[in-house]
């Protein structure tokens, strides 16, 4: 792959975490299944709940932070506490279910727990896909309190489908002008839940084109409003590439290559989508990446 020219000039917009006051939220006691709420309108579903911490809690004095446990059917989970990202966890193709367990910083009073559950479009080859779960199944518990363990599973939860950037259609030509983007030295890097955009001209020639996304983590890509697809270079291929011997019974783990490399790095850009100039590239980054490392490349003959 050969770069087509100079680097791209990026602008960024930070995705906002929702609040329970948002008009388009849903509320109910207990946890809902993700696909039944999103109805395939988005990969993303926010789960929001409040945790009240009294001032006499022991951990406020001894510094031993309480322990949050979240069980999910997958595929990816971002945990936010009081507006700050605490952790990101994800399952695998073989086992998409995941459990997060870790200490969280809480304060006296009302604390906001937000869980962003993400479906990544894992392929399925089974029957009754509509009965497969993709959600925060629970239980969701908080340990290390004076009362011991508090079960948050059946308490009041609020739900919000999708991201603000999706509702504003930031990936489109018209929607991308509806918010104020920052540029230059203020462009966010290594920051989760960030939208990036750049304008570029179509390179000459007729060679196949692709985007090199090795510097990014996980998210989605659009060009002129058309979906290039989900990117996930942060997912590193596992395995043993140290030896190769085809003798004996064959299995898929023999003679592996590219261990420790992204599962996919280059993403095809159809030339039919491009105008001679003024093409809009939009990237939504979930994990946090370096957009200056993104480049448009062509396949060398």
Number of domains making up the chain: 2
* Count of CA atoms in the C-beta half-sphere (13 A) of 163: 22
* Range from 60-74, 214-228, 250-264, 285-299 carrying the lowest mean pLDDT: 250-264
Determine the structural domain holding residue 132 and report its residue range: 31-154
Say if residue 171 is in the same domain as residue 292: yes
Domain assignment present for residue 69? The answer is yes
User: CA–CA separation, 233 vs 214, rounded Å?
Assistant: 6
User: Is 54 domain-assigned?
Assistant: yes
pLDDT in tens, 237-273: 887 787 888 888 988 888 888 888 888 899 999 999 9
Q: What is the 3-state secondary structure (H, E, C) of the chain?
A: CEECCCCCCCEEEECCCCCCCCCCCEEEECCCCHHHHHCCCCCEEEEEEEEEECCCCCHHHHCCCCEEEEEECCCEEEEEECCEEEEEEECCCCCCCEEEEEECCCCCEEEEEEEEEECCCCCCCCCCHHHCCCCCCCCEEEEEECCEEEECCCCEEEEEECCHHHHCCCCCCCHHHCCCCEEHHHCCCCCCCEEEEEEECCCCCCCCEEEECCCCCCEEEEECCEEEEEECCCCECCCCCCCCCCCCCCCCCCCCCCCCCECCCEEEECHHHCCCCCEEEEEEECCCCCHHHCEEEECCC
* Cα 32 from Cα 133, distance rounded (Å): 10
Residue with tokens 């109805």: 39
Task: Mark which of 97, 122, 154 sits at the end of a domain.
Answer: 154
237 and 177 in a single domain? The answer is yes
Q: Does residue 7 fall inside a structural domain?
A: yes
Do both 76 and 148 map to the same domain?
A: yes
Condensed to tens digits (0 to 9), the pLDDT of residues 93-141 reads 677 788 899 999 999 999 999 999 998 866 566 666 666 666 788 899 9
Determine, yes or no, domain membership for 19: no
Residue 172 and residue 105 share a domain: no
Last residue within a domain, chosen from 103, 120, 154: 154
Asked if 212 and 288 sit in the same domain, the reply is yes
Is residue 143 domain-shared with residue 187, that is, in the same domain?
Answer: no
CATH of the domain at 248: 2.60.120
Residues 140 and 214 in one domain: no
**Residue found under tokens 């979906």:** 227
The values of phi and psi at residue 45, to 5°, are -140, 125
Burial class of residue 250 in the structure, from the number of CB atoms within 10 Å of its CB (0-12 exposed, 13-18 middle, 19+ buried): exposed
139 and 180 share one domain? no
What is the number of other CB atoms lying within 10 angstroms of the CB of residue 130? 7
How many other CB atoms sit within 10 Å of the CB of residue 147? 9
Assess if residue 189 is contained within a domain.
yes
What is this structure's pTM?
0.89
Verify that 281 and 254 share a domain, yes or no.
yes
Report which of 69, 110, 81 is spatially closest to residue 17, judged by C-alpha positions. 81
How would residue 277 be classed by pLDDT, with cut points 50, 70 and 90?
A: very high
With beta carbons less than 8 A apart as the criterion, state whether 243 and 250 touch. Answer: no
How many CB atoms sit inside 10 A of residue 225's CB? Answer: 15
Domain boundary among 133, 154, 175: 154
- Distance of alpha carbon 279 from its chain centroid, rounded? 25
**CATH number of the structural domain spanning residue 145:** 2.60.120.260
Summarize pLDDT for 52-100 with one digit per residue, the tens.
999 999 999 999 999 999 998 878 999 999 999 999 998 776 777 888 9
The answer to whether residues 126 and 98 belong to one domain is yes
180 vs 94, higher pLDDT = 180
Domain-embedded: residue 23: no
In a domain, 199, yes or no: yes
Contacts of 184 (CB under 8 A, 6+ apart): none
pLDDT of residue 125: 61
Whether residues 224 and 290 fall in one domain: yes
Task: Judge if 89 and 177 occupy the same domain.
Answer: no
Is residue 72 a part of any domain in this protein? yes
């Amino acid at each position: 792959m050969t770069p087509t020219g100079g680097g791209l000039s990026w602008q960024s917009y930070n995705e906002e975490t929702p609040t329970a006051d948002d008009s388009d939220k849903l509320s109910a006691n207990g946890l809902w299944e993700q696909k039944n709420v999103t109805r395939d309108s988005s990969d993303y579903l926010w789960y929001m709940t409040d945790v009240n911490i009294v001032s006499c809690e022991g951990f406020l004095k001894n510094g031993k932070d309480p322990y949050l446990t979240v069980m999910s059917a997958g595929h990816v989970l971002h945990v936010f506490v009081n507006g700050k990202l605490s952790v990101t966890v994800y399952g695998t193709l073989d086992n998409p279910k995941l459990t997060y367990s870790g200490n969280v910083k809480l304060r006296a009073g009302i604390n906001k727990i937000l869980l962003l559950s993400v479906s990544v479009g894992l392929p399925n080859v089974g029957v009754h896909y509509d009965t497969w779960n993709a959600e925060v199944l629970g239980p969701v518990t908080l340990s290390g309190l004076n009362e011991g363990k508090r079960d948050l599973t059946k308490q009041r939860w609020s739900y919000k489908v999708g991201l603000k950037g999706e509702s504003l259609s930031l990936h489109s030509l018209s929607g991308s002008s509806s918010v104020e983007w920052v540029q230059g030295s203020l462009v966010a890097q290594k920051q989760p839940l960030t939208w990036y955009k750049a304008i570029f001209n179509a390179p000459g020639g007729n060679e196949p084109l692709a985007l090199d996304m090795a510097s990014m983590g996980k998210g989605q890509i659009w060009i002129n409003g058309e979906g290039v697809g989900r990117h996930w270079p942060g997912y590193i291929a596992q395995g043993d590439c140290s030896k190769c011997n085809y003798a004996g019974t064959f299995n898929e783990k023999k003679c592996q290559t590219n261990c420790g490399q992204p599962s996919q790095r280059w993403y095809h850009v159809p030339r039919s989508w491009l105008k001679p100039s003024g093409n809009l590239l939009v990237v939504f980054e979930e994990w946090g990446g370096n957009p200056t490392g993104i480049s448009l490349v062509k396949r060398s003959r």
